[in-house]
Amino acid sequence: MNQLDALKQFTTVVADTGDFKQLAQFQPQDATTNPSLILKAVQKPEYLPLLKDTVAAHGKEPMDAQIDRLLVRFGCEILATIPGRVSTEVDARLSFDTAATVARAKRIMALYEAQGVKRERVLIKIASTWEGIQAAAELEREGIRTNLTLLFSFAQAVACGDAKVQLISPFVGRIYDWYKKSAGGASGATASGGWVEADNAHANDPGVKSVRAIYNHYKRHGIKTEVMGASFRNVGQITALAGCDLLTIAPELLAQLGSTNEPLAQALSASAAMQLDLPEVHHTEASFRYALNEDAMATEKLAEGIRAFCVDAVKLEALMH
């Protein structure tokens, strides 16, 4: 059995791509997209017609409406290939506006429903800012399921659990990137220290440790929010989280897992988490903001992630003109 098939025994495998023509070979349950992945896809000749068709049919609508239609078009194509759910992202420029995020999410869901897609098959992706989490709480109460993304800290995960969101996407690779860069980025030890890859791999990877802490907290305290590790840099990060509720994986890493037959052991389990002595944590807005501010990595990566998605949203709009 290859590692991809072995992983599917413990974890729901999700494809992280806008390239829906690649999906069939990996047979994922779900799929996730984001503005950067859609931008990457529409620049390929095989996907350009989707953009052109959307502009031809809806070019007189406001740009934000055209973008939502394009995202939903991709989502519908993905849903035709997978049995589960697709995640579609609200414009990152709304990350600090609760009311606007709620309105945009409702419009995206209405577009899906107009195409005959049941809302159970769609997760609305929202950045894990305080405002985004409050928007998600409101949407969940109205039966619209959410995926809280750009999640880098335990505080963000706690607030998402309190908000009863459907799913969170803690970013493993970007956490790893930050710690590696802050340690000097060297691949081996020097007299002054530096990053030693072997010491920070697999279970010791800072991104893996972050997801494990969140997963154990949720399971220990009966929090129903699903944990979906995301943003992987290597296969070792994935195998170290085997047993996590879901893992969303780029096609290149899915291919690596599928071509490897090394044994794969379950690393996380709800039953093991239940045995841990972990305090229950909750956050008010003030304590959330303070905890996030105290976490330099999470503060920097959240801001950087929102900025990057905003840049790609603008680029996508430029292609629609």
Q: Which residues are catalytically annotated?
A: 125
Helix residue ranges, H only, the chain: 3-10, 23-26, 35-42, 48-58, 63-79, 98-114, 130-141, 154-162, 172-182, 206-220, 235-239, 251-258, 270-274, 285-294, 296-320
Burial of 196 (C-beta count, 10 Å sphere; 0-12/13-18/19+): middle
Residue 241: DSSP 8-state? T
Listed as own residue / partner, the contacts of 278-281 with beta carbons closer than 8 Å and 24 or more positions apart are: 278/216, 278/217, 278/220, 278/221, 280/221, 281/154, 281/158, 281/217
